[in-house]
Chains A and B, each alone.
Chain A
């Protein structure tokens, strides 16, 4: 069973629109960590945010915000007033405390295209 699901494979928006990227996860661990990574067209993976399972506070960083809801096993990512530079593939990932090596399980990614 897939542990991290990003149902939106591709999203296209016009600059300045708000966009939300969905992430649904599955785990039996009570302690786990959720991450978002950005992969711009240049190919590298950039760490954006980490959340642990005991902290359901939403977080805002500039135009980025994250909504973590344990009740629905979701960790969604919203970009406000999108810009062309936000065009990238975004990955949600899960690390479970009970799994040796702190391995990350990635979702399939969402490709975001922001058009001018």
Chain B
């Protein structure tokens, strides 16, 4: 049971470089989310998707783009990385009902130099 898998687990980028974080879930969940975790601030929602082909902005979307071409995958892109985007990124997925908990991946630690 893989659950939610994030790739890669660690990455170091230089300012201005681009990269894509991949999230895959095998639970047939409709909803998927990308969060960032910074010290003392809990997790903040970047973007989310309520189904294949849909995306929406969360609390802190600037500097990121997302795509959900397949139900099981949710990609997070940084077009031009900035040091302020140094963070731990978590992907999550859930069933449609609000009562259902979100299941999280193990996180991606990203450093921008």
Contact = CB atoms under 8 A, between A and B. Distances in A.
A56 interface: no
Q: Give the size category of B's interface with A.
A: 20 to 34
A103 B107 contact: no
Contacts of B97: 102
A30 B34 CA distance: 26
Interface stretch (A11-19, A39-47, A70-78, A79-87): A39-47
A45 B90 contact: yes
A9 B99 contact: no
Given A43-B107, A44-B107, A97-B98, A108 B42 contact: yes
A69 interface: no
B52 interface: no
Contacts of A45: 90, 92, 104, 107
Given A101-B31, A103-B33, A103-B58, A47 B98 contact: no
Interface of A: 4, 9, 31, 33, 35, 37, 43-45, 47, 50, 52, 91, 95-97, 100-104, 106-109
Interface of B: 31, 33, 40-45, 48, 50, 56, 58, 88, 90, 92, 94, 96-107
